[in-house]
């Protein structure tokens, strides 16, 4: 978390509460409250207004399931310092500040206060190609979920509907395969992604779904150190110490979909990846619980993948080092 030293009294902090139809904006220290429509005209008006303001130091908005994407992309393209945050962080901050009630205007004010106190770092937002990759992955996951439910129904459905369900499953199989081909094509045709695909695909235990998920949900490999990438996925251990007490370390937060894909990959890597298999066996022999050993293996595998992308090297070179 970054804090700005020597902050000027002229700095302006902006909180934007995003809703499907409206955008409520609060600014500090002026305390101004304004509302715009959540469409192209409203976003253009917000950008024009904020660019006229001198001293805009940070603009904060919450991730709202995609409703924030157009606004965040527009603000970033205009060169404005925007940060998109996990809603839980802002809500915890509001509760700690004594703000218990919730309205659109109060939420915008809480966001502005968060911006002024915390000054969250501005990170690069996903470009259009990255957003399209994530959208395709979302659709594939939706279809996989539908297929799982349809397969579960086969066990209890009456014969009169069984044929229709089987036909639907066949159709879902074809659509899932279509999206997987599209994802693979985009990754291999992209100058930014194709080398990463080759490096990651060579890691024993890493399959195409893991590659799709990591590149769509975690574009940072190669740009972060081992601790940062582990925290971003949610496999970095947190201390729980107080005085002389040394509590058990635990993990929390991070990007759930990337962590889920990493878990499934680690299960496979325990069998087919010698480095991960030996590491897991060593931890179990030392008396570590299976869950703790698995988490450590997930972190190790992620760190190794991050390193090979950073060094632009093949798995064989890395594992032999």
Supply the DSSP string of 259-282, one letter for each residue.
HHHHHHHHHHHHHH-HHHHHHHHH
Average pLDDT, the chain: 89
Averaged pLDDT for residues 165-189: 95
pLDDT tens sequence across 198-240: 889 989 999 999 999 998 988 777 788 888 899 889 998 877 7
Which residues is 16 bridged to in the sheet?
25, 61
| Predicted pLDDT at 317 | 62
For residues 124 and 147, the model is more confident at 147
pLDDT band at 9 (very low <50, low <70, confident <90, very high): low
Supply the DSSP string of 6-28, one letter for each residue.
S--TT-EEEEEEE-SSEEEEEEE
Q: How far is Cα 270 from Cα 277, in angstroms, rounded to an integer?
A: 4
Alpha helices, H only, 64-158: 69-77, 87-96, 104-118, 128-153
Q: Is the pLDDT of residue 5 over 80?
A: no
Structure-block tokens of residue 131: 């957003």
Nearest CA among 312, 306, 205, 295 for reference residue 259 = 295
Domain boundaries, the chain: 12-118, 127-190, 193-321
Q: How far is Cα 200 from Cα 318, in angstroms, rounded to an integer?
A: 12
Q: Is the pLDDT of residue 7 over 70?
A: no
Q: Is the pLDDT of residue 320 over 80?
A: no
Q: How many CA atoms, within 13 angstroms, populate the side-chain half-sphere of residue 85?
A: 26
Assigned architecture for domain 12-118: 2-Layer Sandwich (3.30)
Q: How far is Cα 293 from Cα 275, in angstroms, rounded to an integer?
A: 14
pLDDT tens sequence across 36-83: 999 999 999 999 999 988 789 999 999 888 889 899 999 998 999 999
| Predicted pLDDT at 34 | 93
| Predicted pLDDT at 64 | 87
Nearest CA among 78, 79, 74, 71 for reference residue 111 = 71
* Exposure letters 266-291 (e unless 16+ CB within 10 A, then b): beebbeebebbbebbeebeeeeeeee
For residues 312 and 146, the model is more confident at 146
Residue 190 class from Cβ within 10 Å (0-12 exposed, 13-18 middle, 19+ buried)?
Answer: middle
Q: Is the pLDDT of residue 263 over 80?
A: yes
Q: CB neighbours of 171 closer than 8 A, spacing ≥ 6?
A: none
Averaged pLDDT for residues 24-31: 89
Q: Is the pLDDT of residue 109 over 80?
A: yes
Nearest CA among 197, 199, 209, 196 for reference residue 264 = 209
Residue whose entry in the numeric block shows the structure tokens 């599209």: 182
Helix and strand element counts for the chain (H, E):
13, 7
Other Cβ atoms closer than 10 A to 301: 25
| Predicted pLDDT at 314 | 77
Q: How far is Cα 88 from Cα 279, in angstroms, rounded to an integer?
A: 35
* CA torsion through residues 32, 38, 42, 47, sign: positive
């Amino acid at each position: 978390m970054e804090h700005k030293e020597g902050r000027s009294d002229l700095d302006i902090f902006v909180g934007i509460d995003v809703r499907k139809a409206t955008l409520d904006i609060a600014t500090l220290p002026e305390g101004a409250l304004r509302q715009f429509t959540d469409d192209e005209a409203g976003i253009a008006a917000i950008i024009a207004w904020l660019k006229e303001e001198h001293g805009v130091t940070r603009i904060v908005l919450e991730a709202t399931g995609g409703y924030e994407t157009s606004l965040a992309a527009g603000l970033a393209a205009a060169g404005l310092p925007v940060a998109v945050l996990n809603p839980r962080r802002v809500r915890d901050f509001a509760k700690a500040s004594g703000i218990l009630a919730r309205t659109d205007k109060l939420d915008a004010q809480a966001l502005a206060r968060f911006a002024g106190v915390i000054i969250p770092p501005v990170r690069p937002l996903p470009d259009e190609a990255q957003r399209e990759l994530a959208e395709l992955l979302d659709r594939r996951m939706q279809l996989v979920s539908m297929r799982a439910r349809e397969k579960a129904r086969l066990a209890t459905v009456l014969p009169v509907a069984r044929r229709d369900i089987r036909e639907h499953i066949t159709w879902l199989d074809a659509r899932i395969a279509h999206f997987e081909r599209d994802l693979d094509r985009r990754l291999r045709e992209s100058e930014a992604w194709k080398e990463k695909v080759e490096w990651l695909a060579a890691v024993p235990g890493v399959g195409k779904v893991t590659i799709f998920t990591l590149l769509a949900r975690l574009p940072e490999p190669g740009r972060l150190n081992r601790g940062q990438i582990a925290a971003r996925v949610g496999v970095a251990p947190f201390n729980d110490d107080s005085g002389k007490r040394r509590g058990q370390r635990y993990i929390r937060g991070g990007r759930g979909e990337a962590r889920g894909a990493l878990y499934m990959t680690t299960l496979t890597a325990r069998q087919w990846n010698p480095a991960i298999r030996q590491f897991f066996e060593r931890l179990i022999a030392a008396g570590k619980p299976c869950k703790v050993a698995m988490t450590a293996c997930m972190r190790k595998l992620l760190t190794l993948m991050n390193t090979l992308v950073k060094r632009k090297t093949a798995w064989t070179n890395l594992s032999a080092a």
